[in-house]
Every structure is written in C-alpha cells, then in structure tokens.
Amino acid sequence: MINFEEFYETFKECIECRKTLPESMRNNGFTFYASRFNDYKYMIILQNPLYNKERHKKEKTESTGKSIQDRAKIHQKYFLEWFLKGNREKRRGQNYRFIERFLDLLKSNGLISYDDTPGYLETGFFNDFYVTDIVKYWGATGDITDALLKHSVHHLIDEIINVRPELIFSFSTRVWDCLYPIGRDKFELSPIQGWGEIERHSDLERSVETLANVHGHLFRGKYADGIPFHLIPLIHLSKNARYNLIRDSYFNCLKEGLQNYPAIMQENQ
Ligand SMILES: [Zn+2]
C-alpha cells in the first residue's frame, strides 16, 4: 500500500505517460480531485478531465504552486462548476439534472445521505466519492489515444488497490474497454446478476466486453486478499442527455443494479 503523496510523485515522474502523451497535451498539466486514499466507500471513474481552453487556463494558473491538498480543492471546485452550472437558474442544466438523479438513486438505496443536492455536492460528495479520471492530463477528448488510455489504466489500478472502494461506478465506453480486460485479470471482475437479453448470447465473454450490454449491471471483483468489491459500468453521462432512447433505461438499469447491492453486501458480511 502507498499513500496519495507517493502515488502523486510516481505519477508525476512517469516516463511512460510522457511517452504516450500526444504532442497537443504535453504542456497542459494534469488534474486530481483527492489528496488521500483512505476512508472512501465509493469511487467514480471518468475518462479524462473536461477540457475547455479558457477554463483550463484559469484552473491551471490557480492550481500552480499549490500544495496537493489545495490543488485537489481547486480541481474539485472546477469539476463541480460543470454540474452546478444552471442549478440556480430557472431551467436546470442537463449535467445538474443527471447528477441529481444519479445521487438520488444512491440515496434511496441507502448508500449516501444528504438533505439537498447542491449542498451535498459542495460539502459531502468529495468525502464519500473518490473521483478520478483514467487519463489525468488535460486535452481534447479527440486527442486521447488508445495508447494513452492503455497506459493510464495502470495508474488507475494503483488507485483502486490503494483506495479499496466497496463500490465503483465507471463511466463511458472507452473506460470500460480498457478497464474490463485488466479488471478481469487483476480482480477476477465478473457480472453477478441476471443477464436478460444477453444471457442467450452465444459468446458471453464478448458481450460483457460491450458496455451497452452491461450498462447498470453489478459486477464483482476481489482484492488480492480476497475481500470483494463491486462495480457498475455506465454509459457516459452526456449520452444520457443526448439520446432520448436510452434516457429512461439509463436510470432503470442502474436502479436494478443498485437494488441488488445492499442484499449482496449483507451476504458478504
Ligand atoms: Zn504513466
């Protein structure tokens, strides 16, 4: 086990990161939203930090030269800005509506507790959730290469091993594409609930690899000492807003996955 500072130093000095980083991302720097590994129950894995040139400039300037703890707070603030945008306006933003519904589902299943969503996001959220991006360097999503993702997932595995969350939510197809194979090898990650449609699929292994087939399903893995953890892969949240077709099934699938979770946790105790 290592602590966050050690992880941070290793990550900062990583030669492989530098080798795989596209030219356009070399001088952008990187983000992180935590400054400790301990005391987290849940983990959220995203693909890469939101990149907007103007915002990036402000965020980078503000965080330069700061301690790890202060930097994490600055990156948290910018992260939340994206969700809270529109929250006080008459018409609530899509991102806010997403996070509100997502957290509400977790709350109704007894995973977290709070009074109001904006208040929780600003005070409790980052204490309950270790939030991280597979690729921590800023850059346009289109510039993120498979090689960079494939390398960066090793840093993520270090985070999972050290944070030891009980339950992980991973977002987006590319995250699943690189997380599942390594998760299967390292943590014996496998689905634990009914398969519905894909149960009849002739090639189960291949269908698990496709995020659309497993969106919202509960997976189980185990740490090296045999202690189990769970993971729910989800389609990228922007897809939820963009495609009406999956809007309801997005949350229905997650609801099913979460409903099974408390019973399973009890079984393990
Ligand atoms: Zn690296």
Q: Is the pLDDT of residue 82 over 50?
A: yes
What residues have a C-beta under 5 A from ligand 1, the ion? 14, 16-17
In this prediction, residue 202 carries a pLDDT of 55
The set of residues, in sequence order, having a beta carbon less than 8 Å from that of 181 and lying 6+ positions away, is 209
Question: Cα(28) to centroid of ligand 1, in Å?
Answer: 15
Q: Which amino acid is at 68?
A: I
Question: Cα(15) to centroid of ligand 1, in Å?
Answer: 6
Question: Cα(139) to centroid of ligand 1, in Å?
Answer: 15
Q: What is the pLDDT of residues 219-258, one digit of tens each?
A: 999 999 999 999 999 988 775 544 544 556 778 888 888 8
Q: Which amino acid is at 259?
A: Q
pTM over 0.85: yes
Question: Cα(236) to centroid of ligand 1, in Å?
Answer: 24
The set of residues, in sequence order, having a beta carbon less than 8 Å from that of 108 and lying 6+ positions away, is none
The answer to whether 178 and 45 are in contact (CB under 8 A) is: no
Q: Is the pLDDT of residue 170 over 70?
A: yes
Question: Cα(20) to centroid of ligand 1, in Å?
Answer: 8
Residue 192 pLDDT grade (very low, low, confident, very high; cuts 50, 70, 90): confident
- Which pair of tokens denotes residue 64? 């330069």
Residue 210 pLDDT grade (very low, low, confident, very high; cuts 50, 70, 90): confident
Question: Cα(94) to centroid of ligand 1, in Å?
Answer: 33
Q: Is the pLDDT of residue 200 over 50?
A: no
DSSP string, 134-195: SS-B---GGG--HHHHHHHHHHHHHHHHHH--SEEEEESHHHHHHHHHHHHHHH--EE-S--
The answer to whether 107 and 259 are in contact (CB under 8 A) is: no
- Residue 239 vs residue 47, higher pLDDT: 47
Question: Cα(98) to centroid of ligand 1, in Å?
Answer: 31
- Which pair of tokens denotes residue 72? 């994490």
Residue 46: CA atoms inside 13 Å, Cβ hemisphere, count?
19
Question: Cα(133) to centroid of ligand 1, in Å?
Answer: 13
Where helices occur in 4-145 by DSSP H, the ranges are 4-12, 15-20, 53-63, 68-84, 94-108, 117-123, 125-128
Q: What is the pLDDT of residues 95-113, one digit of tens each?
A: 888 899 999 999 999 999 9
Among 207, 183, 184, 180, which Cα is nearest to 196's?
207
- Residue 158 vs residue 212, higher pLDDT: 158
Instruction: Look at phi and psi of residue 30 and say left if phi exceeds 0, alpha if psi is from -120 to 50, else beta.
Output: beta
The answer to whether 133 and 49 are in contact (CB under 8 A) is: yes
Question: Cα(37) to centroid of ligand 1, in Å?
Answer: 18
Q: What is the pLDDT of residues 14-27, one digit of tens each?
A: 999 999 999 999 99
d(CA 211, CA 143): 22
CATH class of 4-268: alpha beta
Question: Cα(159) to centroid of ligand 1, in Å?
Answer: 13
* Averaged confidence pLDDT in the chain: 88
User: Domain residue spans in the chain?
Assistant: 4-268
Residue 186 pLDDT grade (very low, low, confident, very high; cuts 50, 70, 90): very high
In this prediction, residue 236 carries a pLDDT of 82
Question: Cα(43) to centroid of ligand 1, in Å?
Answer: 20
- Which pair of tokens denotes residue 168? 């992980």
